[in-house]
Amino acid sequence: MIKLKDISLFVKLLLPIISLVFLIGGIVFLSKVSSDRLIQSQRAIAQNGVQRVADVSELLETFQSIDGKFYRYLIKQSTGALEDGEDRMAELKQEAIEIDAKLEKMLLYVAEKNKEQFAKLRKDFKKYVIGLKEDGTESGEGIYDIAISMMELDVEFFLTKGVNGYTGVYNEFLALLQQLEEKILNDASLLVNNSEQEALKFQKMSMVSTIIVASTMVLIAIWLVLVVVRSIKDISAATVLLADGDMNVDVNALSRKDELGAITNSLERFKENQMQVRRLSEEQEELKVEQEKQRKQDMFNLANNFDAQIGGLIGSLTTASSKLQSTAETMRNIADETSKASNEVALSSDAANANVSTVAAAMEEMSASSNEISSQVTTAKNKSNDTATDAANANETIGNLSHLVENIGEVVTAIKDIAEQTNLLALNATIEAARAGEAGKGFAVVADEVKKLASETANKTEEISVRISDIQQATLDSVDAMGRIIHNISDIDGSVTGVSAAVEEQNVTNKEIVRSISEASQGVQQVAQIISEVNHGAKETENSADSVLGASNEVARLSGELQSSISTFLEEIRNDNSV
């Protein structure tokens, strides 16, 4: 069985129109039928009423005319003034026969109840007026036949013998025709009234039909609208429930085959998609929780690995900075000792120079003061030995300084490598933080700070490296200068030894002594100059050592800050990503 909801909306909306067309067609048909009836009634009035009245009137008038002629002919016959009386009576008989023919036609629209009376009238008319038997043959007893046969007789005898039957027929004929005329008029009036009643009935039927049709159409339209609106409300309610996430809506109950069926089918697909989306959302949420758990574990492991790697590097950096501080302190102390030693050498050189000058001055009195010369030579020899010893110590100290500077260079190289590794780790941490998204922003900030600290450490290390290069160059210059000092001191020692050995021959070899003293004076001056250079190098070494010490202290401070920042950062990472 076809359900209403399975019928197309177009058909539903077309049904009232089709019904209206059929109802209007019915009204038009009824109007046509009523109009036809009304027209037929009018025609009946025109034909059966007016025409029949006219026919009856004409028949009465004709019969009365024949009757008048008949009596006039009789009067003239009685006075002898009628000519051709038989022919005249024959003409009247012929007119009576025509009246009978009209009476026969009139029987067709005479009322059934009057037909018997009308048939008797016609029978008497034929018998007494025309003179016909029942079988239609001439009886010779008609009024006109009698009048023709009695033309020669006395009129009074004729009237008493033949007119009595005719008079009765005539009177009955007139009465019946008048009654028929009245009946026809009454029937016509009744027909008019019936026609009016039919017209009024048709008007009422049209009005009632129109009201019924309009009411029916309105009710059908309202019913269809209510059905469609209810369906739309059901679909709308189901849509709202589905939009609110209620998947218990029975969309199949809304299934239909009209245009709204496409919407219900869409709702079914929407429900399936919503259920699929909900299932995917739940799976995605579970996957998200699992991924978040894995991410926290990875971040925790990354923090531990980073702590292990960067902790070792920072520990190495701290150890290296401590070692650099110790080396800088040692280098500063060595530079200070070198400065002191060079000052003592300078003093010794000044003393040697003064002694040489004294020897030179005393050469003039050498003859008289040989013992004094010997004593002075001995003193000079002792001073020369002391100077040689100090120079050897200074040379050893400078050698140690050179080795320390080389060690400092190795430490600086190690610090530089650590800084590069720290920078690389910071770069890796920045990349991992970028992969981590929002959760890695804090990690990225700390990694950037680590990167900055590593860059600053690298810059400071480069500065220290430059300083150490300067110290190494100054140390090499000091080593060369001390070599020359030792060589000169050895020469001085040899000269003093020669002087001591040649004291006995001093007088003979005064010129040689003067020359030797002159050379010794020059050597002492060279020693003084070299000592001055050593002192200057020691000052520069001390300044460089101070710079290295300051840089190492800064590196130690930055290492501490870096370790504190990384510890804080890793602690936050562990707290935020604890599983």
CB 527 within 8 A of CB 349: yes
Of 45-54, 123-132, 415-424, least confident by mean pLDDT is: 45-54
pLDDT, residue 402, reads 67
The tokens for 418 are 């650590």
Nearest to 139 by CA among 162, 173, 105: 162
Contact 349, 384 (CB under 8 A): no
With a cut of 70, say whether residue 459 has pLDDT above it.
yes
Alpha-carbon gap, residue 502 to 374, rounded angstroms:
10
Residue 450's pLDDT band, with cuts at 50, 70 and 90, is confident
Asked if 578 and 296 touch (Cβ cutoff 8 Å), the reply is yes
**Cα–Cα distance between 227 and 247 in angstroms, integer?**
25
Q: What is the pLDDT of residue 192?
A: 66
Dihedral sign for Cα 492, 496, 498, 502, please.
positive
Detail the DSSP E strand segments found in 269-416.
none
Residue 518, pLDDT > 70, answer yes
pLDDT at 30 > cutoff 60: yes
Cβ neighbours of residue 92 under 8 Å, at least 6 residues apart? 66, 69, 70, 73, 144
Share of the chain above pLDDT 70, in %: 62
Q: Band of the pLDDT at 563, cuts 50, 70, 90?
A: confident
Kindly indicate the confidence band of residue 341, based on its pLDDT and cuts at 50, 70 and 90: low
Residues in a beta bridge with 132:
138
pLDDT, mean of residues 404-422: 73
Residue 388 tokens read as 């040689």
- DSSP letters, 79-140, are HT--SSHHHHHHHHHHHHHHHHHHHHHHGGGS-HHHHHHHHHHHHHIIIIII-B-TTS-B-S
CA distances from 435 to 68, 307, 428, 431, 439 (A): 141, 19, 11, 6, 9
pLDDT classification of 287: cutoffs 50, 70, 90: confident
pLDDT(535) > 80:
no
pLDDT of residue 12: 62
CA torsion 177→182→188→193, rounded to 10°?
-160
CB 498 within 8 A of CB 516: yes
Per-residue confidence (pLDDT) for residue 206, from 0 to 100: 74
The predicted pLDDT at position 76 comes to: 75
- The count of residues in the chain is 579
Confidence tier at 399 by pLDDT (50, 70, 90): confident
Determine the pLDDT at residue 352: 60
pLDDT at 120 over 60: yes
* SS3 label, residue 229: helix
| pLDDT of amino acid 286 | 86
What string of DSSP letters covers 455-468?
Answer: HHHHHHHHHHHHHH
Q: What is the mean pLDDT of residues 143-162?
A: 60
CA dist 12 → 156, 216, 225, 260 (Å): 94, 15, 10, 12
Give residue 209's pLDDT.
76
| Percentage with pLDDT > 90 across the chain | 0
Positive or negative torsion for Cα 89, 90, 96, 100: positive
Q: For the residues of 270-294, what is the DSSP string, one character each?
A: HHHHHHHHHHHHHHHHHHHHHHHHH
Residue 502: predicted pLDDT = 65
More confident residue, 93 or 370: 93
Please say if the pLDDT value at position 200 is more than 70.
yes
CA dihedral 547, 550, 552, 554 (to 10 degrees): -140
Mean pLDDT of 31-51: 62
* Structural domains of the chain, ranges and CATH numbers in brackets: 27-209 (1.20.120), 296-576 (1.10.287)
Q: What angle do the packed helices 510-576 and 441-501 form, to 10 degrees?
A: 170
Q: Across all residues in the chain, what is the average pLDDT?
A: 72
Structure confidence at residue 344 as a pLDDT band (50, 70, 90) = confident
Lowest mean pLDDT among 251-260, 379-388, 434-443: 251-260
Residue with tokens 């003409």: 91
Confidence of residue 151 (pLDDT cuts 50, 70, 90): low
| Residue 98: pLDDT over 80 | yes
- The answer to which of 240-249, 281-290, 506-515 has the lowest mean pLDDT is 506-515
Tokens representing residue 18 in the block: 């089709």
